[in-house]
């Protein structure tokens, strides 16, 4: 369906519906989850995501909540991603949780075949990187007041 490779441009809504379905079906390895923030949202713009902190890192055992916004040009442009749960990680703004698109590789080099799932998984992968995994984290349960 998503034949990005063959050059067919799938309409945004179709893409997002597909991602919604995947999110509900739990596609993937169970370490990230995503879904519409508001089920009535007809524009499929606002999404929530969840990342389970990987083991053997300082993020372990924590559940990180995120907000993902897929604008009208999605999937041609990357979504904006924001952490709701406080986190200390490279590329994440410390005061409001915004994910800096320039520091996260897949956001910086976005392709329309990427998806919300990919973004979440990538963020999780970055949690496991040497530079991030040992960063001291704020106490659990804190959120950005935004």
Partner 1 sequence: MAENSGTDPAVETNTEENAAASATIIKVTVKTPKDKEEIAIAEDSSVSQFKEEISKRFKAKQDQLVLIFAGKILKDGDTLGQHGIKDGLTVHLVIKTAQKSSSGSSQTSASSGPGPSQGNTAGTANPSPAGNLGTPQGSGPSPTPTQPPNILAGFGDLSGLSNLGMGSANFMELQQQMQRQLMSNPEMLSQIMENPLVQSMMSNPDLMRQMIVANPQMQQLMERNPEISHMLNNPELMRQTMELARNPAMMQEMMRNQDRALSNLESIPGGYNALRRMYTDIQEPMFSAAREQFGNNPFSALGGNTDNSGVQPSRTENREPLPNPWGPPDASAATTTTASGTATTTSSTTSSTTPSVSNPLGISSSSLGNGMFNSPGMQSLMQQISENPQLMQNMLSAPYMRTMMQSLSQNPDINPPPSGPAPAPAPTPTPAAGTNTAQQQLMQQMLQMFAGGNALTQTPEVRFQQQLEQLSAMGFINREANLQALIATGGDINAAIERLLGSQPS
Applying CB under 8 A, which residues contact partner 1? 17-18, 20-21, 23-26, 29-31, 33-37, 39, 41-42, 44, 47-50, 52-56, 60-63, 65-66
Q: Quick one: tokens of 116?
A: 């919300």
Nearer to partner 1, 44 or 98 (CB): 44
Query: Does the bond joining 75 to the residue before it have cis omega, within 30 degrees of 0?
Result: yes
Nearer to partner 1, 108 or 138 (CB): 138
- Name the minimum Å distance from CB 59 to partner 1: 8
- Name the minimum Å distance from CB 62 to partner 1: 7
- Name the minimum Å distance from CB 38 to partner 1: 9
- Name the minimum Å distance from CB 48 to partner 1: 4
Q: Distances from the Cα of 91 to the Cαs of 50, 102, 116, 128, in angstroms?
A: 17, 8, 17, 14
Q: Which helix (H) or strand (E) holds 36?
A: strand 32-36
- Name the minimum Å distance from CB 126 to partner 1: 16
Q: Do residues 144 and 97 lie in contact, with contact meaning Cβ atoms separated by under 8 Å?
A: yes
Nearer to partner 1, 41 or 131 (CB): 41
Q: How long, in residues, is the chain?
A: 146
Q: Which residues pair with 48 in a beta bridge?
A: 35, 67
81 backbone dihedrals φ, ψ, rounded to 5°: -125, 140
Nearer to partner 1, 25 or 102 (CB): 25
Nearer to partner 1, 26 or 108 (CB): 26
SS3 41: coil
């Amino acid at each position: 369906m998503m034949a990005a490779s063959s050059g067919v441009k799938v309409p945004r809504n179709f893409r997002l519906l597909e991602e919604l379905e995947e999110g509900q079906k739990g596609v993937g390895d169970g370490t990230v989850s995503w879904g519409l923030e508001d089920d009535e949202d007809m524009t499929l713009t606002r999404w929530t995501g969840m990342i389970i902190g990987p083991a053997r890192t300082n993020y372990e055992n924590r559940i990180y909540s995120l907000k993902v916004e897929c604008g009208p040009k999605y999937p041609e442009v990357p979504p904006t991603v924001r952490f709701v749960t406080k986190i200390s990680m490279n590329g994440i703004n410390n005061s409001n949780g915004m994910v800096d698109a320039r520091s996260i590789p897949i956001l910086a080099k976005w392709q329309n075949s990427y998806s919300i799932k990919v973004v979440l998984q990538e963020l999780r992968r970055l949690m496991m990187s040497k530079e991030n995994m040992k960063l001291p984290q704020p106490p659990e349960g804190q959120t950005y007041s935004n």
